[in-house]
């Protein structure tokens, strides 16, 4: 099956690597040629390093790299059996994109969104054939994180979730079927996790580094909440919180934070922009609030 991936940012590039390694021909599309170049160079170099470390053979790494076709032209999706979207977390933009995708792809092509929080039903509603629409939600970094949430919408045809589950499992992932609700499992549980950590900071209970340290060293989390929000990106993370809060009819449990909103507005997205809660600028001591 040929797979189309839209968006070559953190998630799209990671998903493209996963499916290329699994043996699929992959068309990776982005509106930004610069983002595409960066993504393809990163994937090629990651696969090369994996081969050098003996995690895969040099031939397999080369073959996976050769299966990856970067493009800015939607027409290249004409032979796709599955398209996964990983663009900006905005409902209107995603809906508009799928209207364009449907014009190009075959009638039986499965359409999927990697959205973290938006209603799958509402994205599907923009499609001519919403019964072939489903959520396939990977975690960052996609090549390393085993969990994938599979989210059928109310419109999704019977049987599609199982087909997709089997496909994703074949890529070496651990899929879990989840109902189409705001934030699904992980991003719903994560909202109070981030929100409470920010409130601890705002109330001066402890500084960021201490909170992160407590949760990693003593709480067993791989990353503390501030380091994790910086890793995910405040553009993504803030929008997800806002979307979950709105979707739960402004339930205060999910209320976004002004502290994070200011980072988002300033363009302090975290690692990707060089500054978030911490400062990642070259030469800056780490961690530095
Ligand atoms: P990103 O900002 O790293 O990448 C988005 C890419 O999409 C950019 O390269 C941009 O040029 C491209 N793009 C935007 N609009 C486009 C359009 N109309 N057509 C073609 N390309 C377009 O974002 P990231 O972090 O990869 O997130 C993408 C999606 O995945 C979002 O829906 C997000 O909620 C979700 N997600 C993000 C996770 C994270 O930890 N960052 C984890 C799981 C899901």
Binned at pLDDT 50, 70 and 90, residue 288 comes out as very low
The pLDDT of residue 284 is 57
Is the model's pLDDT at 273 over the cut of 90? yes
3-177 shares its CATH topology with 187-273: no
Is the model's pLDDT at 283 over the cut of 80? no
Binned at pLDDT 50, 70 and 90, residue 122 comes out as very high
Domain ranges of the chain: 3-177, 187-273
69 is an active site residue:
no
Average pLDDT estimate for 199-204? 96
Ligand 1 atom closest to the Cα of residue 89 is 32
Average pLDDT estimate for 236-264? 95
Percent of the chain at pLDDT > 90 equals: 97
187 is an active site residue:
yes
The pLDDT of residue 264 is 96
Which residue, by CA, sits nearest to atom 43 of ligand 1?
139
CA distance 103 to 122: 19
Is the model's pLDDT at 159 over the cut of 60? yes
Binned at pLDDT 50, 70 and 90, residue 55 comes out as very high
Which residue, by CA, sits nearest to atom 30 of ligand 1?
86
Angle made by CA atoms 42, 282, 41, in degrees to the nearest 5: 10
Q: What is the pTM of this model?
A: 0.92
| Given 8, 102, 119, 137, the catalytic residue | 137
Binned at pLDDT 50, 70 and 90, residue 281 comes out as confident
- Fold held by 187-273: 1.10.1040
Query: For domain 3-177, is the CATH number 3.40.50.720?
Result: yes
Is the model's pLDDT at 287 over the cut of 60? no
């Amino acid at each position: 099956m040929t797979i189309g991936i839209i968006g070559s940012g953190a998630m799209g590039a990671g998903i493209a690597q996963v499916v290329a390694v699994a043996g699929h021909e992959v068309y990776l599309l982005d509106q930004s040629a610069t983002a595409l170049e960066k993504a393809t160079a990163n994937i090629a170099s990651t696969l090369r390093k994996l081969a050098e470390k003996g995690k895969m053979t040099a031939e397999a790494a080369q073959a996976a790299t050769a299966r990856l076709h970067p493009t800015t032209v939607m027409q290249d999706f004409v032979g796709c059996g599955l398209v996964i979207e990983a663009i900006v977390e905005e409902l209107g933009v995603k809906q508009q994109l799928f209207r364009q995708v449907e014009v190009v792809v075959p009638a039986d092509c499965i359409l999927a969104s990697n959205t973290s929080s938006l209603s799958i039903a509402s994205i599907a509603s923009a499609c001519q054939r919403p019964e072939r629409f489903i959520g396939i939600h990977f975690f960052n970094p996609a090549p390393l994180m085993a969990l994938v949430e599979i989210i059928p919408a109310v419109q999704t045809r019977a049987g599609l979730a199982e087909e997709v589950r089997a496909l994703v499992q074949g890529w070496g992932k651990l899929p879990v079927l989840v109902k189409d609700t705001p934030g699904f499992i992980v991003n719903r549980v994560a909202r109070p996790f981030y929100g409470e950590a920010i409130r601890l900071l705002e109330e001066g209970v402890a500084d960021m580094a201490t909170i992160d340290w407590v949760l990693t060293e003593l709480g067993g989390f791989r990353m503390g909440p501030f380091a994790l929000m910086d890793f995910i990106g405040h553009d993504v993370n803030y929008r997800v919180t806002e979307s979950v809060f709105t979707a739960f009819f402004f339930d205060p449990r999910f209320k976004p934070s002004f502290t994070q909103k200011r980072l988002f507005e300033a363009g302090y997205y975290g690692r990707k922009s060089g500054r978030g809660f911490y400062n990642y600028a070259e030469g800056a001591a780490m961690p530095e609030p």
